[in-house]
Structure 1
Amino acid sequence: MDLSDAYANAAHIPGGPGFPARWAEAAAAFRAAHPPQEIRTGEGARDWLHLFHPEGEPRGLAVIVHGGYWMAFSPTDFSHLAAGALARGWAVAMPCYPLCPEATVGGIVRSVARAVEQAAAEVPGPIALAGHSAGAQVVARLAGADVALAPRDRLARVVPVSPLSDLVPLLRTGMNATLGLDLHEAVAESPLLRPRPAIPVTVWVGESERPAFRDQALWLSRAWDVPLVVEPGRRHFDVIAGFEDPAHPLTQAVVGS
């Protein structure tokens, strides 16, 4: 059975196609008010990150990894999501990464790992990882001990939002023509099929998201025996709005008390 529609979002969200333009506009306005430091993380055109510095000494480093099914977007579309953690005194790193089909999903995980290492060299203290959708898969993988990550002893918590935790169903979608997943990689890069990380994990999903995404979040919370937060009224494209608010429980889940 083809699962393409099960994993489609824009067509099932009121005003869905208009969200990317609004994200980009809000992101540009945020960067104008809070110019980030740009740091190269490799030789490729998409090997860089934006690092937003708080006023005063940072309380730690929050890393927020964007979604887009590993095929779209960059940090410049989501800069405004740094607002909540930044207001709470955390530095916020937003990595860019190469996209499929030029990159593989496993290659993207390793690219973001290098970006986290670069950001960690700039900012002392604990590190919190958060990501949305494909970005949630990336941070969930980074939290696992089987992924090489130099500052692993500084990881404090991870918050996968609307995660793609089992990649095997994606083999039956049209997007796999671009992703290029085979069964071996789908299994290897599925967080729920890897051991539970040794740090606190909170899985987050919107109550009104597509059933496939609610299932993916539930599966991960059960596989890892970690809390699942189902945010009322939120869909896949607005469940990330909580990152913008320093008082929102999603920001609290990332930076702690």
Structure 2
Amino acid sequence: MDMDAAYSNTDHVPDAAAYPPRWAAAAAAFRDGLGERAELDLPYGDHPRARFDLFHPEGAARGLVVFVHGGYWKAFDKSTWSHLVAGPLARGWAVAIPSYPLCPEVRIAGITRAVAGALPVMAARVAGPIRLAGHSAGGHLVARMGAPGLLPADLATRIARIVPISPVADLAPLMQTSMNATLRIDAAEATAESPLHQPVPEAPVTVWVGGAELPAFRDQAERLARAWKAELRAPEGRHHFDVIAPLAEPEGDLTRALLA
């Protein structure tokens, strides 16, 4: 099997190049419309990318949603995804979106540690339960947050649901792709950093993947759901780039699942 083709969403999704600029424009317009309800570039560490945006609902928040972006651990930042908070925000939840250091400056294990370090800082800003969602590489990262001992115990008990969206649950196949020149995954890291090999999280998990995604991504999601005995949702017709779109809708199926 050609592993580059197996994991190349850009080659699989029609008009793929149009998605990032469209996301960025929608995100900027959404931030501009929120005014003081958007707190931007808040620090959680010393690295230049150790920053998060925090969006507040009208009135007291019911809790905190954290969305972790994708990009194969080597692309994008928090600013591209702000519009996706619209669904949870309209239902009374505060939403935080962190950036994180990227490969090849750091390895995937370092990104895991960065997100784990961001969560206590973000959680300190909003009381109540915490719900984690992440897309693609972000799906991997929120799944990793369910590992025992990775987060402080008092924070771990606040996590009410984890929703890995199109997650990479097993890193081993990526060792056979050309992008591994940037990611630098070796066998030890593939084992240590793959959610598929970690214990089942205490928090409820819903694994989400588009019904029209590449077979490799559907397989990754299905294997994680089986290993964790988690609910698996695969909305028909959704591909890797539009599977996250319903988060922007208060009644979107993905928003409802995250807040269930």
1:98-143, CA deviations, whole angstroms, 9 ceiling, x for partnerless residues?
0000011111111111111111110000000000000000000001
Determine the structure 2 residue equivalent to 1:216: 220
Q: 1:227 aligns with which of 228, 231, 236?
A: 231
1:129-166, CA deviations, whole angstroms, 9 ceiling, x for partnerless residues?
00000000000000121413451111101000000000
CA contact (8 A) 1:66 1:132 kept: yes
Aligned residue type for 2:69:
H
CA contact (8 A) 1:58 1:123 kept: yes
Quick check: 1:73 aligned with 2:76? yes
Moved more, 148-157 or 115-124: 148-157
Q: How does 1:21-32 map to 2 (within 5 A)?
A: 21-32=21-32
Determine the structure 2 residue equivalent to 1:18: 18
Determine the structure 1 residue equivalent to 2:207: 203
1:182-206, CA deviations, whole angstroms, 9 ceiling, x for partnerless residues?
1101110100111000110000000
Secondary structure at the counterpart of residue 122 of structure 1 = coil
Aligned residue type for 2:100:
Y
Structure 1 residue 56: Cα displacement: 0.6
TM-score, with structure 1 as normaliser: 0.97
- Alpha-carbon distance between aligned partners in 1 of 2:180 and 2:152, rounded to the nearest angstrom: 28
Q: 2:117 aligns with which of 114, 133, 139?
A: 114
Quick check: 1:175 aligned with 2:182? no
Q: Percent identity?
A: 54
- Alpha-carbon distance between aligned partners in 1 of 2:120 and 2:202, rounded to the nearest angstrom: 19
Q: How does 1:91-170 map to 2 (within 5 A)?
A: 91-149=94-152, 151-170=155-174
Count matched residues: 256
Q: 2:39 aligns with which of 37, 43, 53?
A: 37
- Root-mean-square deviation over aligned CA pairs: 1.0
4+ runs deviating over 2 angstroms: none
CA contact (8 A) 1:27 1:79 kept: yes
- Alpha-carbon distance between aligned partners in 1 of 2:152 and 2:29, rounded to the nearest angstrom: 33
- Alpha-carbon distance between aligned partners in 1 of 2:64 and 2:160, rounded to the nearest angstrom: 10
- Alpha-carbon distance between aligned partners in 1 of 2:152 and 2:58, rounded to the nearest angstrom: 28
Determine the structure 2 residue equivalent to 1:58: 61
- Alpha-carbon distance between aligned partners in 2 of 1:153 and 1:225, rounded to the nearest angstrom: 20
Aligned residue type for 2:166:
S
Aligned residue type for 1:253:
A
Moved more, 225-234 or 36-45: 36-45
Aligned residue type for 1:37:
E
Structure 1 residue 2: Cα displacement: 4.3
Distance 1:149 1:103, change over 3 A: farther
Secondary structure at the counterpart of residue 157 of structure 1 = strand
In the alignment, structure 2 segments of 5+ residues that lack a partner are none
Secondary structure at the counterpart of residue 231 of structure 1 = coil
Determine the structure 1 residue equivalent to 2:240: 236
- Alpha-carbon distance between aligned partners in 1 of 2:24 and 2:16, rounded to the nearest angstrom: 14
In the alignment, structure 1 segments of 5+ residues that lack a partner are none
Aligned residue type for 2:174:
L
